[in-house]
Amino acid sequence: MKFWVGVTDKDWFDFLSARQPDEVNFWQPSAKPLTRALVPGTPFLFKLHSPHNYVVGGGFFVRFTVLPVSVAWAAFGDRNGAGGQAQLLARLQKLARTGVTSGAAIGCNILTEPFFLDETDWIPIPEDWAANIVRGKTYDTAEAHGAALWAEIDRRLVAIKVPDAAWQAEGYPLYGADYLAHARLGQGAFRILVTDAYRRRCAITQERTLPALEAAHIKAYSESGPNRVCNGLLLRSDLHRLFDVGYVTVTSGLKVEVSKRIKEEFENGREYYRYHGRSLENLPAATRERPSPEFIEWHNQKVFVG
């Protein structure tokens, strides 16, 4: 099994370790992926900057994407490892050594099920770790150093009682689409996966202004709706609000239906009625990521006000 050891800042680690979130954004100033070897489900370990030459925790890779700082903050908040967007910008500027604005594009490595080791459990870096490594390194359990490091990680995961990870089934790791179908994804990962599946365009209007787009749950998260792409729609923010309260829905035939109650209650709605009866303009390319009939039926029956 291959896994990644990524270099990170101790302040980032300490901030998140104190909060124990269900997901993290391992951000980077560069929009270039850390490595092409990362696929969903790959274990991603944290190694602190020198002089703290230890592996101190990790998570499981979900997706690499490039986002404006403001959108990364909106999606992940303090799970970016910072107490506010201003602090995130300050940390980015320190690493980039140039001015970074809220509209600047940064690389985002989305990780789920993160774990943070107590200092007494930190693992010394492998002997083959080179001092000039800046971003990270791939290891393989088929090789001596990788096998030894992973054995130490595995022992600590059992000791700290990390729940059985979704990446493992009958002793074998899941990767790619299989991992995403089973992983315990957080709200931030859900938002980004839906955003990318819909190619950053509103499903109804094809609006492309990213800060105006939101990932809507078809079956509400509060009603046990899963954080899976097939339970999501990328919608312009006003349409998202109307969808959540039942003034707009999507039929089993993937057509937009707008409630007559918008006009009855607000004496308005021309902007929305023009979409009534239209097929969704934009859908994910992968069939498995398109809206699930089960979740659409739930929204039609439980939320839409007719």
Q: Is residue 156 within a helix (H) or strand (E), and if so which, with residue range?
A: helix 144-159
Quick check: helix, strand or coil at residue 21? coil
**What pLDDT digit, counting tens, does each position of 174-220 carry?**
667 777 777 789 999 999 999 999 999 999 999 999 999 999 999 99
The span from the CA of 306 to the CA of 299, in Å, is 11
Residue 153 CB neighbour total at 10 angstroms: 18
Kindly report whether the peptide bond that precedes residue 51 is cis, defined as omega within 30 degrees of 0: yes
Mean pLDDT, the chain, integer: 92
Q: Is the pLDDT of residue 300 over 60?
A: yes
Mean per-residue pLDDT, 32-59: 94
Judge whether residue 18 has pLDDT over 70. Answer: yes
**What is the DSSP pairing of strand 43-48 with strand 2-8?**
parallel
Whether this model's pTM surpasses 0.95: no
160 pLDDT above the threshold of 50:
yes
* SS3 of the chain: helix, strand, coil, percent, to 5: 35, 25, 40
- Give percent of the chain above pLDDT 70: 94
Residue range 52-69, pLDDT digits in tens: 999 999 999 999 999 999
pLDDT of residue 158: 76
Percent of the chain whose pLDDT exceeds 90: 83
Judged against a pLDDT cut of 70, whether residue 163 lies above it is answered with: no
Alpha carbon distance 267, 263 (integer Å): 4
Distance CA 158, CA 121 (A): 12
Residue 124: in which H helix or E strand, if any?
strand 123-124
Residue showing tokens 């999501």: 232
Q: Could you tell me the CA-to-CA distances from 211 to 67, 200, 204, 216 in Å, in that order?
A: 10, 10, 16, 14
- Residue 149 pLDDT > 90, yes or no? yes
What are the structural domains, with CATH classification, of the chain? 2-182 (2.30.130.30), 198-302 (no CATH)
pLDDT band at 164 (very low <50, low <70, confident <90, very high): very low
Q: Which two tokens stand for residue 13?
A: 């680690």
Token pair in block for residue 217: 């749950």
pLDDT band for position 275 (cuts 50, 70, 90): very high
